[in-house]
């Protein structure tokens, strides 16, 4: 009788379990696993054969051989013998100093809650021993080790979530080029290479996030995206925890999938109705490692954490970014609206670093990551697990941003006040209102400024903090 009861309960639960069909209406109805929204901050890692030339960006092969870019042509002519081919870079991708435990220590110290590694970029080289990428993977050549598996083991030891970036297309794969020539009416590349490899990656490494990319040249029907996602959500070993983005075919971005990327370095102008993520890079010109990067081309800590105007050089992104104005030809002025703004607007923040072909994280990148972690040690209460408040920023300025969690409201001060007080216009106070500065348990004095709401808060001497952004906690306000 007891066994029968168990069977009835199991069958009943199975009947109630949601099954998703291979169409966007069904797939888009899947709730996002809650771990992702609570995490808020992750680390992106672009690493591959492109790290060896380390010139221009991770798009070097395409710029050199696909676009015949003069700068790339000259770089190769000046530094490599005639006839040198891109695959000859692979044996130089040795990663002798790759220490996944150290990498994981740095990522943990950054305060990130998830890590996303490029398992395969557009060059087609896989950072694991893919059986569908013979001699063009990190086990058969170069490091001769399973980079995806080694980093995953180290990251998970520290209770961080592990995700994998995967490019659907490959620039110069003959099967893909043949399908492209046929107007994507054939699917030789998808059936023989892309899909089997993607299934292999999921079953073998059980990522909790798939950061899909390289989709924009063909529709989702060519990639068989909906069929794959239906399997991923219904039957895969990660069906209950997997998170996906929105890059599954031309026209899918900001419309279909899990959370939305919309575009590289996407920054919405108002609170989106759908969960989103901003991905950006410490190196403002590239996602992959560049041997010739300059310190002025890197995001400094205040611009990672808070909000400010910074001049950058144009970067070869395949997705549009928000450009405000041009400055001296190649240089652009881009609004850096990052961790604080992103979280206040309901997004997650994915910050990229590009390791060297030797397997090290450049020390300036490590310094930035540890600086973010030091700031989050004090202010993380207002970031992790938070929600957008009814007002995201004060008076449409970029100096005060808000989040909320439970009954608490948090106000981020991203510019040091010139006086010893600050006025917040939007909170509605009560007799039980209390205000503290995160990192300092002392109650701060405050007074109402008008009947309808708002308060003036007396500030202590604000301590130096990494990133120069301070957080007030307000209890008992509406």
Q: In this predicted structure, which of 62-66, 345-349, 413-417, 463-467 has the lowest mean pLDDT?
A: 463-467
CA dihedral 126, 127, 129, 134 (to 10 degrees): 30
- Specify whether the CB–CB gap between 129 and 204 falls below 8 A: no
Q: Strand locations in 134-194, DSSP E?
A: 161-167
Q: Strand locations in 138-237, DSSP E?
A: 161-167, 209-213
Condensed to tens digits (0 to 9), the pLDDT of residues 334-364 reads: 333 489 999 999 999 999 999 999 999 999 9
Average pLDDT along the chain: 90
Amino acid 17: pLDDT: 62
Q: Is 390 exposed, middle or buried (0-12, 13-18, 19+ CB in 10 A)?
A: exposed
- Specify whether the CB–CB gap between 49 and 356 falls below 8 A: no
Condensed to tens digits (0 to 9), the pLDDT of residues 67-85 reads: 999 999 999 999 999 999 9
Q: Which SS3 state, helix, strand or coil, does residue 458 take?
A: strand
Condensed to tens digits (0 to 9), the pLDDT of residues 12-55 reads: 343 336 799 999 999 999 999 999 999 999 999 999 999 999 99
Residues 225-235, mean pLDDT to the nearest whole number: 98
Bridge partners of 404?
A: 387, 409
Question: Which pTM was predicted?
Answer: 0.91
Q: Strand locations in 249-395, DSSP E?
A: 276-281, 307-313, 325-327, 331-337, 347-353, 387-393
Amino acid 367: pLDDT: 96
């Amino acid at each position: 009788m007891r066994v029968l009861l168990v069977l009835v309960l199991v069958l009943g639960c199975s009947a109630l379990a949601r099954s998703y069909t291979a169409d966007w209406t069904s797939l888009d109805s899947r709730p996002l696993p809650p771990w992702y929204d609570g995490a808020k901050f992750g680390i992106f890692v672009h690493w591959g054969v492109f790290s060896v030339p380390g010139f221009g960006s991770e798009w070097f092969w395409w710029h050199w051989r696909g676009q015949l870019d003069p700068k790339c042509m000259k770089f190769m002519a000046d530094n490599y013998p005639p006839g040198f081919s891109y695959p000859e870079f692979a044996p130089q991708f040795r990663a002798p100093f790759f220490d996944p435990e150290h990498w994981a220590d740095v990522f943990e110290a950054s305060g990130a809650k998830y890590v996303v590694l490029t398992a395969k970029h557009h060059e087609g080289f896989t950072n694991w021993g893919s059986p569908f990428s013979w001699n063009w993977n990190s086990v058969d050549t170069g490091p001769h080790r399973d980079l995806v598996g080694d980093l995953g083991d180290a990251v998970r030891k520290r209770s961080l979530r592990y995700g994998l970036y995967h490019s659907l297309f490959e620039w110069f794969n003959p099967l893909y080029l043949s399908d492209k020539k046929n107007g994507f009416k054939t699917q030789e590349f998808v059936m023989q290479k892309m899909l089997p490899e993607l299934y292999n990656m999921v079953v073998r490494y059980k990522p909790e996030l798939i950061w899909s990319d390289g989709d924009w040249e063909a529709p989702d029907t060519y990639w068989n995206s909906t069929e794959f996602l239906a399997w991923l959500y219904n039957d895969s070993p990660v069906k209950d925890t997997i998170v996906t983005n929105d890059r599954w075919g031309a026209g899918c971005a900001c419309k279909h999938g899990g959370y939305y990327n919309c575009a590289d370095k996407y920054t919405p102008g108002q609170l989106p109705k759908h969960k989103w993520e901003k991905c950006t890079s410490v190196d403002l010109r590239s996602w992959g490692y560049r041997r010739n990067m300059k310190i002025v081309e890197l995001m400094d800590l205040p611009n990672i954490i808070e909000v400010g105007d910074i001049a950058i050089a144009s970067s070869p992104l395949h997705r549009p970014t928000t450009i405000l104005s041009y400055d001296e030809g190649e240089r652009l002025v881009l609004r850096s609206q990052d961790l604080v703004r992103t979280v206040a607007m309901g997004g997650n923040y994915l910050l990229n670093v590009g390791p060297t072909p030797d397997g090290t994280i450049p020390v300036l990148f490590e310094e930035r990551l540890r600086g973010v972690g030091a700031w989050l040690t004090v202010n993380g209460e207002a970031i992790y697990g938070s929600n957008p408040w009814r007002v995201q920023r004060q008076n449409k300025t970029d100096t005060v941003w808000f989040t909320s969690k439970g009954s608490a409201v948090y106000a981020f001060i991203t510019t040091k006040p010139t006086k010893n007080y600050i006025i917040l216009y939007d909170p509605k106070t009560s007799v039980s209102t209390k205000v503290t500065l995160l990192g300092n348990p002392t109650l701060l004095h405050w007074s109402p400024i008008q009947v309808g709401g708002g308060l003036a808060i007396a500030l202590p001497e604000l301590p130096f903090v990494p990133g120069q952004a301070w957080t007030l906690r307000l209890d008992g306000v509406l």
